[in-house]
Amino acid sequence: MKDLKLLARNPRMLAYIVYYMNVVPLMIIFSFMRGSKTALIIPSLSLFMAGFAGAGAGYFYVAEGEGSLLLYVLPVTRGWLARRKAATCLVFSLPTMAIIATLGYVFGEPSIAVTGIIIFLLGAIGSSVAFSFLAARGLPRSPAVWTNETLREGYAGAQIIGLLFVIGLFLVSAFPVFVSEAQGFHSSLLMALSASIAFFLVGLATIKVKDEPL
């Protein structure tokens, strides 16, 4: 993938993205490990990590560096670019999914691991596409080098609101487990799964939004 080659030539940006997409989620996951509760919270944690991963889509635009100037003279649309960046974002989030599945299997049972994978994939696909399209629509209309500063003007607000929304969903879906542990697991699972499906549908709806040239 072109994005992977770009990042390979920019070790600093690659390290930053790996830190955000994998190290930070790992720290968050381990902070919620509470013995027997670990398996019970996997569905909610999968949902949260999926939304968190999608919010990092904007960093893959910055990775273009000065190459972004060339994109303005090519027959590239914002929709095409958004889909490509969302795919790259999803690839980088897969290690987090593997960790969640492993925890579900080790502390629970195979069904919890599979459920965690399903929730994460649905949520990550939807959030990656949605956040990527938001970033694409916020790109400068005239040729410019994409940096954190230029992206921040049209994307940071949406990113923060999105992350706050994801945190809220996590707290709501995890609440039954915190209150009644095993008795609240099924309610927590249903809420997390429903939210991940909603994320996925939002992502699909975003793709169908009218496309426009870069």
Q: How many other CB atoms are found less than 10 A from the CB of residue 13?
A: 17
- 89-110 pLDDT, tens digit each: 999 999 999 988 998 888 888 9
pLDDT-derived band at 35, boundaries 50, 70, 90: low
Q: Which of 105, 92, 99 is nearest to 57 (CA)?
A: 92
Q: Which of 72, 71, 55, 74 is nearest to 17 (CA)?
A: 55
pTM of the model: 0.90
Residue located via tokens 């909610």 = 44
Do residues 77 and 213 touch, judged by C-beta distance below 8 A?
yes
Question: Which ranges constitute the DSSP H helices of 108-214?
Answer: 110-137, 148-180, 185-207
pLDDT-derived band at 8, boundaries 50, 70, 90: confident
Do residues 49 and 174 touch, judged by C-beta distance below 8 A?
no
pLDDT-derived band at 20, boundaries 50, 70, 90: confident
Tokens standing for residue 17: 């993205």
- 127-186 pLDDT, tens digit each: 999 999 988 888 888 898 888 777 766 677 778 888 888 889 988 998 998 888 778 899
Phi then psi for residue 32, to 5 deg, are -100, 5
Each domain of the chain, given as residue ranges in start order, spans 2-26+38-207
